[in-house]
Structure 1
Amino acid sequence: MSHTVRKLFFNFEKEEQWLNNMAAKGLALTEYSLARYVFEDSAKGEYIYRIELLEDGIKGAKSVEYLQFMEEAGVERVPMNKGQVSYNKWVIFRRRASEGPFIIYSDTDSKIMHYRRIHRLWISLALMELIIGFLNVGLVAMDYISIVSNINLVMGLMLIILGAAFLLFSLPVRKKINKLQSDKLIRE
């Protein structure tokens, strides 16, 4: 039986934990898109899930090679909903729990690189939203477009708030990078 759950995450680790909790309850993820997950009944704890942000989009040369490597290692990529864009960089992997532990990043350097990709994503989104937001507010201040200045002001303020939220989402990732780097220095 198919179950659809609508839920939005801004932290991939919490999303990964939630997916593994769903698997422990006997629900296997079969497809996903933004804030939409489709599950089917399965044996409890049949799969272990991991989420990764690829360097390239799914169809990029490096990503295709990496995805083939993961498939050869017995790891499945959960398909995205057919309506999703093909340049998405986020992927959800799963592997049968009976095959043992499933860890994508076993060394500190690769973990740091993964968190840096995520951090760059949040910072890029934040900068884009802040720039566009301040431009909209600036148009209102210069009163170039008096008829739609209220719309520009509201949209600009909303984009600035969204940009600030993206900056906030980047802070825990930055802290993880700093912690991993300091742990690495201690071990060396």
Structure 2
Amino acid sequence: MKYKAYKYIVDFEKEEKWLNEMANKGMNFIDYSLPCRYLFEEGNPGEYTYRLELLNNSPNHPESRAYIKFMEEAGAELVSTYFRWVWFRKKSSDGPFDIYSDNSSKIKHYKRVAWFVGLAGLANLVVGLFNFLYGFFISGPQYNYYFNAYISPISFTVAIICIIPFISYIKRIAILTKDSRIHE
């Protein structure tokens, strides 16, 4: 039996945790699509361990295809892709499943994710400001384009939602960098 869940998660580690909690209940993740739709199928509890990754390029790019093939040769299965995000799973019986084994690769991934989330937040901030200014000041009441001003809070809200994980990722980068220096 298949089960759909709609969940908005900005932090990829929280998403991983949730997917693994679902897998521990016997609900195996099999697909993702917008708007924030996760598709699960019933399986054995704890059968899989899930990991997410933001690739440097789209999954169809030759470098990404080579990386995905490498992961599959290492025993991981590509479950789903969206934009540059990929979801992998591996049988729990095969042992621990970690994509990054050292701090430098974790730092690189956190930087990619921070830039991704930060740019999304900045873009929404710019769109929100444009809509606010256009709706109230540029078009003016004679054109009755207040609609733009009324939708600007949506963009501002998305920008604020993006700031929280962005700051969290920056903090994690700082902690990992400090930890790397200590171990050098």
With the length of structure 1 as denominator, give the TM-score of the two structures: 0.89
Match of 1:150 in 2: 146
Structure 2 distance, partners of 1:132, 1:144, is 16
Match for residue 50 of structure 1? Answer: 51
The match for 1:120 is 115
2: distance between equivalents of 1:40 and 1:162? 31
CA distance in 2, matches of 1:3, 1:22: 11
Q: 1:9 aligns to what SS in structure 2?
A: coil
Unaligned runs of at least 5 residues, structure 2: none
Q: Structure 1: how far apart are the matches of 2:47 and 2:169?
A: 30
Would you say 1:185 and 2:184 are equivalent positions?
no
In structure 2, do the counterparts of structure 1 residues 41 and 160 end up closer, same or farther at CA, with 3 Å as the change threshold? closer
How many Å apart are 1:19 and its aligned residue? 1.0
Q: What's the CA shift for 1:27?
A: 1.7
Q: 1:161 to 1:8 in 2, by over 3 A?
A: closer
Deviation per residue, 1:22-60 (Å, 9 max, x gap): 111112112222321222221221111111111101111
- Give the structure 2 partner of residue 169 of structure 1: 165
How far apart are 1:135 and its partner, in Å?
1.7
> For residue 134 of structure 1, what is the aligned residue in structure 2?
129
Offset at residue 158 of structure 1 (A): 2.8
Give the TM-score taking structure 2 as reference length. Answer: 0.91
Change (3 A) 1:161 1:30: closer
| Deviation at residue 141 of structure 1 after TM alignment | 4.6
The size of the alignment, in residue pairs, is 182
Letter of the structure 1 residue corresponding to residue 161 of structure 2: A
What's the counterpart of residue 29 of structure 2? 29
Deviation at 1:70, TM superposition (A): 0.6
The list of structure 1 runs, each at least 4 consecutive aligned residues, that deviate by more than 6 angstroms after superposition, is none
| Structure 1: runs of 5 or more not aligned | none
1:145 offset after TM fit, Å? 5.0
* 2:80 and 2:88 in contact (8 A); partners too: no
Q: Which amino acid aligns with 2:80?
A: P
Q: Which amino acid aligns with 2:162?
A: F
Q: Which whole-Å CA distance do the structure 1 matches of 2:63 and 2:41 have between them?
A: 31
Q: Pairwise CA RMSD of aligned residues?
A: 1.6
For structure 1, which segment, 61-70 or 165-174, has the greater mean C-alpha deviation from structure 2 after superposition?
A: 165-174
Q: Percent identity?
A: 37
* Distance change in 2, residues 1:148/1:76 (3 Å): farther
- Confirm or deny: 8 A CA contact 1:143 1:149 kept in the other structure: no
Aligned match of 1:16: 16
Please state whether the residue corresponding to 1:103 is helix, strand or coil. Answer: coil
- Residue 106 of structure 2 is aligned to residue 111 of structure 1: yes
CA shift for structure 1 position 142: 3.4
State the one-letter code of the partner of 1:7: K
For residues 106 and 17 of structure 1, the distance between their equivalents in structure 2, rounded to whole angstroms, comes to: 18
CA–CA separation in structure 2 for the residues paired with 1:148 and 1:157: 18
